């Protein structure tokens, strides 16, 4: 077996030792080196050419984000961030994802040894996902990247959806790579679009900062979902990370947010499966499903239920995914009506809502 080769970068000797032991405890991966700061890591990466890097944020001699930005421009390598679970840590981690990090692990503030051991499965799953990620060289400073700003055709049609906005509801599921994919979709939606419900696999403590970050970038309002609130057009609601499953209920003529603190589903809480099942049950033909990049199969079966209930489903294509796991499984389940590059999903959604078409345009790829 060819093992995934990992370099661990962290200023804590204890964390380096623990992460190395967790990685070396897996049959399909090995820690080939550890570094206490980015300057040591830079030489180690050149010498060892690892498949994946785990990276702390706050380190001596060079900030982790500065190092990440240089790495993604000069030598794109899958990176899993290891960040302390604080409000600032959440903001910094989200910035790291914008710079090109694949995923992140919330490092505990106290009880680090026991905490990391409890996170061993999560850490190794994310290293595996990162090892399969499609890397793209980051743009140089000052150079715009695709998705940084709303596309011109969309901004020109900001009031084009109109009366459909109260009849339809959009459901998005995403995991690895999904924070940036979701950002691109939401940034290209007009302020009068239908309500959007989002389940993104994230740990507790990060979705509030993520929602606030998106709210400052998008023309629609974005917030962490609250149990019992009325779902309104022009708003997006993000499932609270790590604490509850997000679903939709009907109360008379209104859609209502429901948060349930149940057991993990498909190893996830929140789970895309739970959200999409509620979409099939409650919204039926008024639902539009969107499956974005992610590891695993969470939500694939429920997305097929959405299709069977009359929903129209858009799935991100392999070429634009960071990890083509959840979209691939949704396609295999027969859930997809259209398989599209990420940049085309928001424009196609708007086109679909404007036309109120009732049939698929047969864009599913083999």
CA distance 4 to 114: 25
* 361 annotated active-site: no
Residues paired with residue 290 on neighbouring β-strands, in sequence order: 172, 314
CA distance 231 to 220: 13
Cβ neighbours of residue 292 under 8 Å, at least 6 residues apart?
172, 173, 174, 177, 178, 181, 182, 185, 316, 321, 326, 327, 342, 345
* 201 annotated active-site: yes
From 298, 312, 317, 337, the catalytic residue: 298
From 201, 268, 312, 337, the catalytic residue: 201
CA distance 324 to 303: 16
CA distance 223 to 215: 7
The answer to whether 351 and 193 are in contact (CB under 8 A) is no
CA distance 173 to 279: 12
| CA atoms 227, 205, 170, 231: torsion sign | positive
E strands, 214-359, are 221-224, 235-238, 245-251, 254-260, 287-291, 312-316, 338-340
From 131, 175, 271, 278, the catalytic residue: 175
* 175 annotated active-site: yes
Which residue in 215, 212, 219, 251 sits closest to 234, CA to CA? Answer: 219
Structural element, H or E, at residue 112 = helix 112-118
| CA atoms 43, 44, 49, 55: torsion sign | negative
Query: Reduced to 3 states, what is the DSSP secondary structure of residue 228?
Result: coil
CA distance 267 to 249: 23
Phi, psi values for residue 104, rounded to 5°: -150, 160
CA distance 41 to 61: 11
Q: Known catalytic residues?
A: 175, 201, 298
């Amino acid at each position: 077996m060819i093992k995934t080769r990992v370099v661990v970068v962290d200023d804590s000797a204890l964390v380096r030792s623990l992460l190395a032991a967790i990685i070396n405890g897996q049959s399909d991966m090995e820690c080939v080196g550890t570094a206490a700061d980015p300057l040591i890591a830079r030489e180690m990466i050149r010498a060892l050419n690892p498949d994946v890097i785990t990276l702390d944020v706050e380190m001596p001699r060079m900030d982790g984000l500065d190092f990440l930005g240089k790495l993604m421009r000069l030598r794109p390598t899958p990176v899993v961030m290891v960040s302390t679970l604080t409000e600032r840590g959440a903001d910094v981690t989200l910035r790291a994802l914008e710079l090109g990090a694949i995923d992140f692990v919330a490092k505990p503030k106290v009880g680090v040894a026991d905490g990391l051991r409890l996170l061993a499965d999560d850490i190794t799953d994310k290293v595996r996902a990162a090892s399969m990620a499609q890397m793209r060289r980051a743009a140089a400073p000052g150079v715009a990247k695709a998705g940084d700003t709303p596309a011109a055709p969309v901004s020109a049609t900001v009031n084009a959806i109109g009366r459909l906005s109260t009849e339809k509801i959009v459901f998005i599921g995403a995991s690895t790579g999904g924070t940036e994919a979701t950002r691109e979709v939401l940034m290209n939606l007009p302020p009068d679009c239908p309500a959007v419900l989002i389940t993104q696999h994230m740990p507790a403590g990060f979705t509030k900062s993520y929602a606030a970050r998106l709210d400052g970038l998008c023309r629609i309002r974005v917030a962490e979902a609250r149990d019992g609130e009325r779902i309104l057009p022009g708003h997006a609601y993000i499932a609270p990370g790590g604490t509850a499953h997000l679903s939709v209920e009907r109360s008379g003529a209104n859609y209502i947010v429901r948060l349930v603190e149940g057991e993990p589903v498909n190893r996830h809480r929140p789970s895309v499966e739970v959200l999409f099942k509620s979409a099939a049950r409650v919204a039926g033909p008024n639902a539009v499903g969107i499956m974005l990049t992610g590891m695993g199969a969470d939500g694939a079966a429920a997305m097929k239920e959405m299709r069977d209930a009359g929903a129209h489903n858009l799935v991100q294509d392999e070429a634009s995914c960071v990890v083509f796991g959840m979209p691939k499984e949704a396609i295999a389940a027969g859930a997809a009506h259209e398989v599209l590059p990420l940049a085309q999903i928001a424009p196609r959604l708007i086109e679909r809502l404007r036309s109120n078409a009732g049939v698929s345009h047969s864009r599913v790829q083999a």
